[in-house]
Chain A
Amino acid sequence: MARDATLLFESSEWNFATLSRAYDAIEEIAVGEMGLDVYPNQIEVISSEQMLDAYSSIGMPLMYQHWSFGKRFAFESHLYRKGRRGLAYELVINSNPCITYLMEENTMPMQALVTAHAAFGHNHFFKNNYLFRQWTDAGAILGYMDFAKKYIARCEERHGVAAVEEILDSAHALMNQGVFHYRRPPRLSPAKVTERARERLEYEEQVYSDLWRTLPATAGTADIEEAEQEALERKNALHLPEENLLYFLEKHSLILEPWQREILRIVRVIAQYFYPQGQTKVMNEGCATFVHYTIINRLFDLGRMGEGAMLELLASHANVVFQPGFDDPRFSGINPYALGFAMMQDIERIATRPTAEDRDWFPDIAGSGDGMGTLIDAWENHRDESFILQYLSPALIRKFRLFHLTDRATDRFCEVASIHDERGYSAVRSALARSYDPGAHQPDIQVVDVDLLGDRRLRLQHRVRNGILLEEGERDATLGHIRRLWGYGLSLTGIDAASGAVLYECSSTGGDA
């Protein structure tokens, strides 16, 4: 171990040799000691300007052109130039090989920290978390983005920039309504379908009873039943209700050209690709922060990093996991780095040094002794919502002094529903977990019916939860975009999810295409 005890780097200047030496040492700990499982890494050094570029094209190295990215770039660079916001030290892309961008301004200790954070922490999470495995294809995304960029550029050449921009504007407006939240059952092969039909027929033959035929049909109900039956068949044929509006429009809109459908598809694929990221912010950052914290400490213990470097990294780490209280002017929501990192540390503590309370709350992991194993298992099988519901301990609720607030828009006050005490732990925990469920926050809007042979009116339904309505100006503008893609009239009905009462109804008329 004599060789190992030398410092990886001495000054704060970095070069590719020190980067590579640090990477190897980090890899040894991450893969060898912690047992992380990562995609091969590709590490790219970029300048601040390129970081801004990457910001504005939602972090993708390749992106088609659209004015909204220009707007975002202007916005980000404005904040940056005014010094109101620093840039991230790194940016990591869920792809295979996993691409990590390092900023050239970082000092060498920071480069080591972000290598551990992104190239191992995030990378492990991307490769192993079930949501990412289910919804994203890391090996194909770069190729797909390349295709998308070229395809849209070709469309612009052929059909004009304005025509493409129109479709993209409309598609972007529906991006949040353009993801599948649940896996669909696999499509059956034709052979399977006929076999099923045969089985059903056999079953009907077996249970056939002549008696049913003798029942007299009630007059009048036949008509209604027929209409209902027809509607049901119609809906079945279109797989309604459908929550993925972009998908529905892509498949069933009567006015779109093939290239326009392809553009909708591109936007939808990108939205779906980012769907897991929104649901795993706390876990993903928690995992990466925990990994870099463990690794830099280990490097320090091995004598491979100097005290000066360590001090710099600890200061930076402390900034990242800082959580101001709700009444602090710096407060802007719960910091996912802080919560995630605290939970990871807490899980490790519960596994190795549990208190009596922990044994009550977490009988299956308390004292198991294998902190890393528990964490790796949690990272693999949870998203933020279920992770918090499963692992947020009373000790941590006390540490963050969490409290649960109920806010009715009609009241002039908010009510404290529960706090960090014996009676409140479960309530606080489940409320916090729910707040990380995107399903509970995004408006639930579905296509419920359309008569393609009749008036072709698209009927949308908004299931209103807890009385939270839509922003009206935005709603009408978005409906305008749907109208552009659908080409015929449409209506949106707000239905209270609890009572089923109709809360509002609005429509965008016009039978012309």
Chain B
Amino acid sequence: MPNFIDRRLNPKDRSLGNRRRFVKRVHDELKRVINDQVRSDRIADVDAAHGVPVPRRGADEPSFRNSASSGERQYVLPGNESFSAGDRIGKSESGGGGGAGHGPGRGEGEDDFLFVLSREEVLDLFFEDLELPDMVKLNLKETVVYKPHRVGFTTLGTPSNINVGRTMRNSFGRRIALRRPGEKEYRALADEIAALEAKGGLSQPERRRLAALREELETLERRRKRIAYVDPVDVRFNRFERQPLPNANAVMFCLMDVSASMGEREKDLAKRFFVLLHLFLKRRYERIDIVFIRHTDEAREVDEETFFFSRQSGGTIVSTALEEMQRIVLDRYPANLWNIYAAQASDGDNASGDSESCAQLLRDELMKLCQYYAYVEIIDERESEIFGSTDNGTALWRAYRAVESAIPNFQMTRIARPADIYPVFRKLFARHKAAGRPGR
């Protein structure tokens, strides 16, 4: 008789540790690929599982192996139909008619397969040089907030969730249906027996009556034992279901200057900024619309592709973008139904005299509609040392400084590196914590 063992219930993911080691091993390569993908993906798609071709560098396992392009080999192959000894068979270009003699080795197939990174792993890599505090990372990764809700009853559950009323009602019904002798009935019988026993000097019929009563009592007792007072089939538990918290809608406006002065680096930083904002928002809102507005000397709403990848020449008039945003808000996103967030990225160039009207527009119109407005000015790493956080800068910067000091939920900062992005969100985050928004 063999030993049968059911291993199916053993803990799964035995090789998770090995997987983690592998990811660590090819970390640099994976990060490069993920960053490339973030650059080309849609903003909303960043936090999904990604397939990554497994890099050869860092993950190869060398050994002494025979080279296929030298020497003389002998093969024995099945299925000869027309050859006889001495025939010559031309080789195909791919290397040898008999090359299959060894079968495809493991080494060949392994290099070009997709390694699927989970959402967590992708986000880890994405967050890496944004220098987010750990708390924030954790919060961002957690997608939906669930809360248990009472929904009906179930036959399975933990003792702490027993619904006593339900259980007892079932028990009662079953006891009636099965005619379980009640306590009253039992007591009466027992009392009668006790009375007869106490009496002493019983007559013949009385004695017979006592015997009959005892027998009846015994039957009752047996019945009571057989039919439990509360049976497992009666027990009901409260059922809870995890339900996502209802979140309100949000719309996120991405505004960007696409004039020639915004190069590849600037756009990449801007994109990271937008992605991060989207992640923050996604955590809070069930539905997020993203609106892309790009501008030179005129502004237009575009799709994401055009937003990041196509170029346009012209001057720079920032206020056009703000006007466009205002128009769209009034048109499609009434402020009483939508949480409106806006993020603007620019290199600070603006037509002379326009900056003041931008500030005006923000102060008087837009900031009344917006939950939050973030402005990032993307500067050179060298410039970052000169400007720091001083007040001087471009006309746009100076104009916005005035807005910032007047309105609390307006944020602005200069960024030169990915690590500079996070501080922009700091206050946004703090505000939410303090206010404890409804629905959180």
Number of A positions contacting B (CB below 8 A)? 102
Least CB distance from B17 to A in Å reads 5
Least CB distance from A439 to B in Å reads 13
Q: Tell whether, in the assembled complex, residue A47 and residue B8 are in contact, meaning their CB atoms are under 8 Å apart.
A: yes
Q: Tell whether, in the assembled complex, residue A409 and residue B72 are in contact, meaning their CB atoms are under 8 Å apart.
A: yes
B34-56 near A? 1/0 per residue, CB < 8 Å: 00000000000000000000100
Identify B60's interface contact among A52, A119, A175, A477, CB under 8 A: A477
Identify B61's interface contact among A172, A424, A470, CB under 8 A: A172
Least CB distance from B95 to A in Å reads 9
The closest CB in chain B to the CB of A476 belongs to B62
Which residues of A in the span 262-316 have a Cβ within 8 Å of any Cβ on B?
none
Identify B25's interface contact among A67, A119, A326, A442, CB under 8 A: A67
B203 CB-CB contact with A under 8 Å: no
B19 CB-CB contact with A under 8 Å: yes
Q: Tell whether, in the assembled complex, residue B72 and residue A467 are in contact, meaning their CB atoms are under 8 Å apart.
A: yes
B226 CB-CB contact with A under 8 Å: no
A401 surroundings in chain B (CB, below 8 A): 78-81
| Given A327-B79, A402-B77, A428-B76: A475 in contact with B85 (beta carbons within 8 A) | no
B232 CB-CB contact with A under 8 Å: no
Q: Tell whether, in the assembled complex, residue B79 and residue A74 are in contact, meaning their CB atoms are under 8 Å apart.
A: no
Q: Tell whether, in the assembled complex, residue B90 and residue A413 are in contact, meaning their CB atoms are under 8 Å apart.
A: yes
A407 surroundings in chain B (CB, below 8 A): 72-75, 91, 96-99
| Given A74-B19, A74-B22, A413-B88: A405 in contact with B75 (beta carbons within 8 A) | yes
Q: Which of A247-255, A365-373, A415-423 contacts B (4 or more CB under 8 A)?
A: A415-423
Q: Tell whether, in the assembled complex, residue B18 and residue A65 are in contact, meaning their CB atoms are under 8 Å apart.
A: yes
The closest CB in chain A to the CB of B9 belongs to A47
Q: Tell whether, in the assembled complex, residue B75 and residue A404 are in contact, meaning their CB atoms are under 8 Å apart.
A: yes
A360 surroundings in chain B (CB, below 8 A): none
Report the Cα distance A23→B110, complex, angstroms: 38
Which residues of A in the span 430-474 have a Cβ within 8 Å of any Cβ on B?
431-432, 434-435, 441-443, 445, 462, 464-474
Report the Cα distance A247→B69, complex, angstroms: 31
Which residues of A in the span 26-66 have a Cβ within 8 Å of any Cβ on B?
40-47, 49-50, 52-53, 56-57, 65-66
A57 surroundings in chain B (CB, below 8 A): 15, 18
A16 CB-CB contact with B under 8 Å: yes
B61-72 near A? 1/0 per residue, CB < 8 Å: 111111111111
Q: Tell whether, in the assembled complex, residue B7 and residue A45 are in contact, meaning their CB atoms are under 8 Å apart.
A: yes
Q: Tell whether, in the assembled complex, residue B3 and residue A41 are in contact, meaning their CB atoms are under 8 Å apart.
A: yes
Identify B22's interface contact among A67, A413, A465, CB under 8 A: A67
A324 surroundings in chain B (CB, below 8 A): 79
B91 surroundings in chain A (CB, below 8 A): 407, 411-414
| Given A16-B4, A43-B3: A67 in contact with B18 (beta carbons within 8 A) | yes
Least CB distance from A194 to B in Å reads 41
| Given A65-B21, A73-B15, A78-B116: A173 in contact with B77 (beta carbons within 8 A) | no
Q: Tell whether, in the assembled complex, residue A74 and residue B4 are in contact, meaning their CB atoms are under 8 Å apart.
A: no
Q: Which of B101-109, B122-130, B423-431 contacts A (4 or more CB under 8 A)?
A: B101-109
Q: Tell whether, in the assembled complex, residue A68 and residue B61 are in contact, meaning their CB atoms are under 8 Å apart.
A: yes
How many residue-residue contacts, CB under 8 A, span A and B? 274
Report the Cα distance A481→B72, complex, angstroms: 29
| Given A56-B18, A119-B2: A173 in contact with B62 (beta carbons within 8 A) | yes
A403 surroundings in chain B (CB, below 8 A): 76-77, 80, 83
Report the Cα distance A469→B8, complex, angstroms: 47
Q: Tell whether, in the assembled complex, residue B61 and residue A405 are in contact, meaning their CB atoms are under 8 Å apart.
A: no
The closest CB in chain A to the CB of B111 belongs to A75
The closest CB in chain B to the CB of A177 belongs to B64
B230 CB-CB contact with A under 8 Å: no
| Given A43-B4, A326-B78, A333-B100: A66 in contact with B18 (beta carbons within 8 A) | yes
| Given A67-B18, A328-B79: A78 in contact with B113 (beta carbons within 8 A) | yes
Q: Tell whether, in the assembled complex, residue B2 and residue A66 are in contact, meaning their CB atoms are under 8 Å apart.
A: no
Q: Tell whether, in the assembled complex, residue A405 and residue B72 are in contact, meaning their CB atoms are under 8 Å apart.
A: no
A363 CB-CB contact with B under 8 Å: no
Report the Cα distance A47→B97, complex, angstroms: 40
The closest CB in chain A to the CB of B20 belongs to A70
B330 surroundings in chain A (CB, below 8 A): none
Least CB distance from B65 to A in Å reads 5
A176 surroundings in chain B (CB, below 8 A): 63-64
The closest CB in chain B to the CB of A65 belongs to B17
B332 CB-CB contact with A under 8 Å: no
B71 surroundings in chain A (CB, below 8 A): 408-409, 464-469
Report the Cα distance A19→B65, complex, angstroms: 44
Least CB distance from A419 to B in Å reads 6
Q: Tell whether, in the assembled complex, residue B74 and residue A332 are in contact, meaning their CB atoms are under 8 Å apart.
A: no
B385 CB-CB contact with A under 8 Å: no
Report the Cα distance A104→B72, complex, angstroms: 46
B381 CB-CB contact with A under 8 Å: no
Q: Tell whether, in the assembled complex, residue B24 and residue A414 are in contact, meaning their CB atoms are under 8 Å apart.
A: no
Q: Tell whether, in the assembled complex, residue B65 and residue A471 are in contact, meaning their CB atoms are under 8 Å apart.
A: yes
| Given A325-B78, A468-B66, A470-B66: A70 in contact with B101 (beta carbons within 8 A) | no
Least CB distance from B15 to A in Å reads 5
Report the Cα distance A79→B106, complex, angstroms: 13
Report the Cα distance A20→B6, complex, angstroms: 13
A24 CB-CB contact with B under 8 Å: yes
Which residues of B in the span 369-427 have a Cβ within 8 Å of any Cβ on A?
none
B80 surroundings in chain A (CB, below 8 A): 326, 401-403, 419-420
Which of A177, A327, A412 counts the most chain B CB atoms within 10 A?
A327
| Given A42-B2, A414-B96: A474 in contact with B62 (beta carbons within 8 A) | yes
B84 CB-CB contact with A under 8 Å: yes
Report the Cα distance A65→B15, complex, angstroms: 8
A259 CB-CB contact with B under 8 Å: no
The closest CB in chain A to the CB of B110 belongs to A75
B78 surroundings in chain A (CB, below 8 A): 323, 325-326, 334, 400-402
A445 surroundings in chain B (CB, below 8 A): 64
| Given A24-B1, A414-B98: A71 in contact with B77 (beta carbons within 8 A) | no
B18 surroundings in chain A (CB, below 8 A): 56-57, 65-67, 69-70, 73
Which of B3, B25, B70, B101 counts the most chain A CB atoms within 10 A?
B70
Q: Tell whether, in the assembled complex, residue B79 and residue A472 are in contact, meaning their CB atoms are under 8 Å apart.
A: no
B225 CB-CB contact with A under 8 Å: no
Q: Tell whether, in the assembled complex, residue A56 and residue B15 are in contact, meaning their CB atoms are under 8 Å apart.
A: yes
Identify B86's interface contact among A41, A74, A333, A416, CB under 8 A: A416
A478 CB-CB contact with B under 8 Å: yes
Q: Tell whether, in the assembled complex, residue A405 and residue B64 are in contact, meaning their CB atoms are under 8 Å apart.
A: no
Which residues of A in the span 331-374 have a Cβ within 8 Å of any Cβ on B?
331-334
A149-193 near B? 1/0 per residue, CB < 8 Å: 000000000000100010001001111110000000000000000
Q: List 23 A-B contacts (CB under 8 A).
A: A41-B3, A50-B7, A65-B17, A66-B21, A67-B18, A70-B18, A74-B19, A74-B54, A74-B113, A74-B115, A78-B113, A177-B64, A326-B100, A332-B100, A401-B80, A405-B75, A414-B98, A415-B89, A432-B76, A467-B70, A467-B72, A474-B64, A477-B62
> A residues near B, CB below 8 A?
16, 19-20, 23-24, 40-47, 49-50, 52-53, 56-57, 65-71, 73-75, 78-79, 97, 101, 104, 119, 161, 165, 169, 172-177, 323-328, 331-334, 400-409, 411-421, 423-424, 428, 431-432, 434-435, 441-443, 445, 462, 464-475, 477-478, 481
- In order of increasing CB-CB distance, the 3 nearest A-B pairs are A325-B79, A468-B71, A70-B22
Extra A-B contacts (5), CB below 8 Å, given A78-B115, A414-B97: A69-B15, A74-B54, A405-B97, A462-B64, A465-B71
